[in-house]
Amino acid sequence: MRIPPPLLFPLSLLLLLLLLLPTSHSSSSSNGEDLIDQTCKLTPFYDLCQSSLRSSPSSSSSDLRGLAQIMAGSVLDGANRTLGQIQQLLDRSSPADPAADQPLAYCAELYIPVVKYSLPQAIDALSKGRLGFAVYGITDAMNEAGDCNKKISSGDGSSSPVSDGNMLVMDLAAVALSIIKVLQKSL
Amino acid sequence: MDDATSKSFDHPYTVLGEDPSLVIPPAESRQRPTKVYFGILTSTVFLLSLAGLIVRENPNRAENSIPAAGTAIPESSQDNVRFLPVGEAEGVSAKSYPSTRGRLSFNWTAADFAWQRTSYHFQPEKNWMNDPDGPLFHLGWYHLFYQYNPDSAIWGNITWGHAVSRDMIHWLYLPLAMVPDHWYDIDGVWTGSATILPNGTIIVLYTGDTNEAVQVQNLAYPSNLSDPLLLDWVKYSDNPVITPPTGIETDEFRDPTTAWTGPNGTWYVLVGSRLNTTIGVALVYETLDFKNYTLLDHPLHTVDGTGMWECIDFYPISTNSSVGLDNSATGPEVKHVLKASLDNLKLDYYAIGTYDEGNVTWTPDDPEMDVGIGLQVDYGRYYASKTFYDQNKGRRILWGWVNETDADYDDLAKGWASVQTIPRVVTYDSLTGTNILQWPVEEIESLRLNSTEFEDVFVEAGSLVPLDIGNATQLDISVEFEIESTQALEESMLGETESQLECSVADNRTTLGPFGLAVLADESLSELTPIFFRLVKSNGTLKTLFCVDETRSSKATEVFKEIYGTVVPVLDGEKFTMRILVDHSIVESFAQAGRRVITSRVYPTEAIFDKAKLFLFNNATDLNVTAAIKIWQMNSADIHPFPLY
């Protein structure tokens, strides 16, 4: 059809806007992803940071403090899983060799206060702006996981899922701590 | 354990939480030139008129009469000679402290003063501290409160300082918990205790010194129980909850204890005082809600001649296990410890006995070893101790205040005074059946760095063995000494005359002692602090003295240099063992696995930094010993402010 000349310019402008809209729409969602991307670049484990944050549906619309909380939650999940693995191994262990249990029992003693106190309190502290207190709790989790790892590394290979768990907790904690550090600087 | 019903006090404080205290700026600090930390006594007439005032102001409080005095303990103080703190035998009275006013201060440098600060004991960053208060465990954190002067390194303007730790070793300072900001504590927020109720509520009772220097008991509680750091505290709007009863001096009424349960939801609390100025007394108050109290018509216990009982502590102890007990525990295998800090002597005494739940009285197992005339908690520089039940690990934990023994002006110059001991686990000594055992909490082992071990070290009579261990100012030492059988010794000593039961100085060589360790000693031994055993024949048998000799600990003339000591039971077949924690100017020494403890403060001028050394020694004239010793270097506990934000 023939477009009347006076309408030609406004219509092409409208067409251009319509073409641009999807781009602008995607750039507002990429702002959320940009924040995740920018934040994760500042952490020691970019891929781990990305995958942990993205696995939470709320991360794309979270601010920096929200990302810190999601990450702290991931540390707690990791610690809970690792403690679960430790307790499973202890349940399955043969009573004939109690000495083999000693490193695992030691690790359980390290993880229990971490999942009961350190990490839940750190997560709560983030929501209250007590960032230093959050750093304390997450650092504690990192240290206890490291301590556990030292204890079981002298054992045999059957502890290796626990060792993987410890490493994951330590890495997640390192990511969470660096996000909080960015948050502290931004305030 | 009788679980008190929680019906009568289910969440009573959520209501009170709607009525927070107004905070007004703290009163001007008052400089007190002496280290005696309880107030100057005023005339009796003034006191009585004040008592009258208080009673009239609070018509709802029951007109409490003086409780009946307990049975006077017969003056069998001759028996005390057996257990004389051997400082007294030396002429250095345990009662009086040598006046240091006239003595010139040593020319301390800033580095000297800095060295004196402990590395792994709790002490504030600066200023004065005294009694530990309200210790408790809550939501993963151990809390310590303490008498603290935020303005000066001598006592005054007393507040509750606050610190937390996950392990009772690595402490983090928090803001002050309570300051003097109401008429009922304007002259000082003094000592108090915490009680954790079965539903998790925390209440604190503490002594407030009022605007008229009357001692009253006040209620306080956390403003937010779900805050793991318990930063903010609320004072009950209707404080004080307990005022001095008729017949009790209004300035001799203080230091409420942790509460324990009675029948039908009652709780009991003790407040210390004195009757007729000489009879130490534990007054009992009964309450259902911690707001309203009734004085029982009889005290828990009294002991003639012991004077004012400060910082009373009362707790159950299991006789057949090393597990700690909650304050309300009772049962056939449970005894109760009653402890008091004697104001007259500035010493902590305790006795083990039986609590009668029906009568709410307590009787010592051995009346001759009653509170104030028998065993001391610690035979050194130690006061105002207080225990709490650690529900985290099922232990009874003991805190004790350790004052400086240098001059006030040294404290002002260096800007701080006092430390707390390393917290100790308290258990019943089932081997002797007559005392408690105290031992540093195992968490201290996390500070251990490297160790050096020496086995089968033969230390013959009259010899000195230097122990090459590097740094000797931060140590955890375990040593055991073996000697030939005591039976053989007794036989060989049949002809000998009896000796005085006294530690004496380490240089004094007797037949069977002293032997032990010299800590904080310099190479030339111009300064040293010997810690030793001395076996002495007394009453036909061999007794073992456990001693710390400070007389050569420092060349400074203005510091106290005591000889502390006590007889320690050593059972058949036992070796002579010591555990010693060296931490700069504090040394904690434990004999026979904690059967007796001596805490000591020393201020060497030469034996500091890398000049401090460690020696084994045996100054006996006719006894050889063999020693096995393990020495750990100790890390700093890195105590610092909690970086909350």
> Structure tokens of B377?
């908690």
* Contact assignment for B642 to A129 by CB distance below 8 Å: no
**Angstroms from A55 CA to nearest CA on chain B:** 28
**What is the rounded distance in angstroms from the CA atom of residue B159 to the CA atom of residue A116?**
32
Chain B residues inside the 8 Å CB shell of A150 = none
C-alpha radius of gyration, chain A, whole number: 24
Nearest Cα residue to B143 out of B390, B401, B403 = B390
B193-225 pLDDT per residue, tens: 999 999 999 999 999 999 999 999 999 999 999
Beta bridge partners of B518: B530, B615
Q: Is the pLDDT of residue A164 over 60?
A: yes
**What is the rounded distance in angstroms from the CA atom of residue A140 to the CA atom of residue A134?**
10
> Structure tokens of B613?
């050394």
Amino acid identity, residue B299?
P
Residues in chain A: 187
Which secondary structure element, helix H or strand E, spans residue B114, and what is its range? helix B110-116
Which secondary structure element, helix H or strand E, spans residue B45, and what is its range? helix B44-57
The crossing angle, in degrees rounded to 10, of helices A64-92 and A119-127 is 170
Chain A residues inside the 8 Å CB shell of B140 = 113, 116-118, 121
* Contact assignment for B642 to A136 by CB distance below 8 Å: yes
B56-103 pLDDT per residue, tens: 333 333 333 222 232 222 223 333 333 333 233 332 233 234 455 567
Which secondary structure element, helix H or strand E, spans residue B53, and what is its range? helix B44-57
Q: What Cα–Cα distance (Å) separates residue B140 from each residue in A79, B228, B295, B324, B397?
A: 17, 7, 36, 18, 16
Question: What are the backbone angles phi and psi of residue A83, rounded to the nearest 5°?
Answer: -60, -40
> Structure tokens of B223?
């403003």
> Structure tokens of B60?
């709802």
Nearest Cα residue to B599 out of B444, B471, B448, B438 = B438
| Nearest residue in chain B measured CA to CA from A137 | B166
* Contact assignment for A132 to B645 by CB distance below 8 Å: yes
DSSP 3-state of B365: coil
Question: Residue with structure tokens 């002050």?
Answer: B176
Question: What are the backbone angles phi and psi of residue B13, rounded to the nearest 5°?
Answer: -95, -5
CA atoms within 13 A on the CB side of B360: 22
By the 8 A CB rule, do B501 and B84 touch? yes
Nearest Cα residue to B260 out of B338, B342, B341 = B338
Amino acid identity, residue B536?
V
- The contacts of residue A4 (CB under 8 Å, 6+ apart) are none
| Nearest residue in chain B measured CA to CA from A127 | B645
* Contact assignment for A133 to B166 by CB distance below 8 Å: no
Burial of A14 (0-12, 13-18, 19+ CB in 10 A): exposed
By the 8 A CB rule, do B594 and B424 touch? yes
Question: Residue with structure tokens 């390194």?
Answer: B153
Peptide bond into B222 cis (omega under 30): no
Mean pLDDT, 10 residues at a time, chain B of 645 residues: 34 31 30 40 45 38 29 30 32 37 82 98 98 98 98 96 98 98 98 97 98 98 97 98 98 98 94 98 98 98 98 98 97 97 98 97 98 98 98 98 97 97 98 98 98 96 96 98 75 71 95 96 98 92 95 97 98 96 98 98 98 97 95 98 95
**What is the rounded distance in angstroms from the CA atom of residue A77 to the CA atom of residue B203?**
35
ipTM given for this complex: 0.82
Beta bridge partners of A50: none
Question: What are the backbone angles phi and psi of residue B153, rounded to the nearest 5°?
Answer: -90, 10
Beta bridge partners of B298: none
* Contact assignment for B139 to A129 by CB distance below 8 Å: no
DSSP 3-state of B384: strand
| Nearest residue in chain B measured CA to CA from A112 | B140
Q: Is B572 a catalytic residue?
A: no
Which secondary structure element, helix H or strand E, spans residue B48, and what is its range? helix B44-57
Cα B443 off chain centre by: 19
Q: Any idea what DSSP says for residue A3?
A: P
Chain B residues inside the 8 Å CB shell of A117 = 139-141, 228
> Structure tokens of B408?
């006030």
- Kindly compute the dihedral angle of the four CA atoms of residues B601, B602, B603, B605, in this order, to the nearest 10 degrees: -170
Question: What pLDDT sits at residue B31?
Answer: 38
| Nearest residue in chain B measured CA to CA from A114 | B140
Sign of CA dihedral B148, B153, B155, B157: negative
Q: Any idea what DSSP says for residue B154?
A: S
**What is the rounded distance in angstroms from the CA atom of residue A72 to the CA atom of residue A65?**
11
Question: Residue with structure tokens 């009579």?
Answer: B461
| Nearest residue in chain B measured CA to CA from A181 | B645
**What is the rounded distance in angstroms from the CA atom of residue B231 to the CA atom of residue B223?**
8
Q: Is the pLDDT of residue A17 over 70?
A: no
Interface of B with A (CB under 8 A): 139-141, 166, 228-229, 642-645
Question: 3-class secondary structure for B261-330?
Answer: ECHHHCEEEEEEEEECCCEEEEEEEEECCCCCEEECCCCCEEECCCCCEEEEEEEEEECCCCCCCCCCCC
Question: Residue with structure tokens 């969470």?
Answer: A176
- The contacts of residue A50 (CB under 8 Å, 6+ apart) are A36, A37, A40
> Structure tokens of B193?
């205790």
Domain range A30-186, its CATH number among 3.40.50.720, 3.40.718.10, 2.30.30.140, 1.20.140.40: 1.20.140.40
Beta bridge partners of B361: B356
> Structure tokens of A71?
């990450």
**Angstroms from B122 CA to nearest CA on chain A:** 20
Beta bridge partners of B192: B206
Interface of A with B (CB under 8 A): 113, 116-118, 121, 129-133, 135-136, 140, 184
DSSP 3-state of B596: strand
**What is the rounded distance in angstroms from the CA atom of residue B221 to the CA atom of residue B17?**
9
**What is the rounded distance in angstroms from the CA atom of residue B272 to the CA atom of residue B191?**
11
Sequence-ordered alpha helix ranges (H) in chain A: 5-41, 46-54, 64-92, 98-113, 119-127, 131-152, 160-186
Question: What are the backbone angles phi and psi of residue B34, rounded to the nearest 5°?
Answer: -105, 165
Chain B residues inside the 8 Å CB shell of A133 = 229, 642, 644
> Structure tokens of B35?
């280290």
Instruction: For residues A132-159, give the mean pLDDT.
Output: 88
**What is the rounded distance in angstroms from the CA atom of residue B284 to the CA atom of residue B294?**
8
* Contact assignment for A132 to B229 by CB distance below 8 Å: no
**Angstroms from B490 CA to nearest CA on chain A:** 46
Question: What pLDDT sits at residue A14?
Answer: 72
Nearest to A132 among B140, B166, B644 (CB): B644
Strand order in the sheet with B189-196: B189-196, B202-209, B215-222, B233-235
**Angstroms from A131 CA to nearest CA on chain B:** 5
Q: How confident is the model at residue A99 (pLDDT cuts 50, 70, 90)?
A: confident
> Structure tokens of A6?
């006076």
By the 8 A CB rule, do B140 and A118 touch? yes
Annotated active-site residue in B2, B19, B131, B326: B131
Nearest to B139 among A117, A140, A184 (CB): A117
* Contact assignment for B642 to A133 by CB distance below 8 Å: yes
**Angstroms from B645 CA to nearest CA on chain A:** 4
> Structure tokens of B573?
């077949």
Phi-psi region of B555 (alpha: psi -120 to 50; beta: other; left: phi over 0): alpha
CA atoms within 13 A on the CB side of A50: 8
Nearest Cα residue to B149 out of B49, B263, B28 = B28
By the 8 A CB rule, do B120 and B114 touch? no
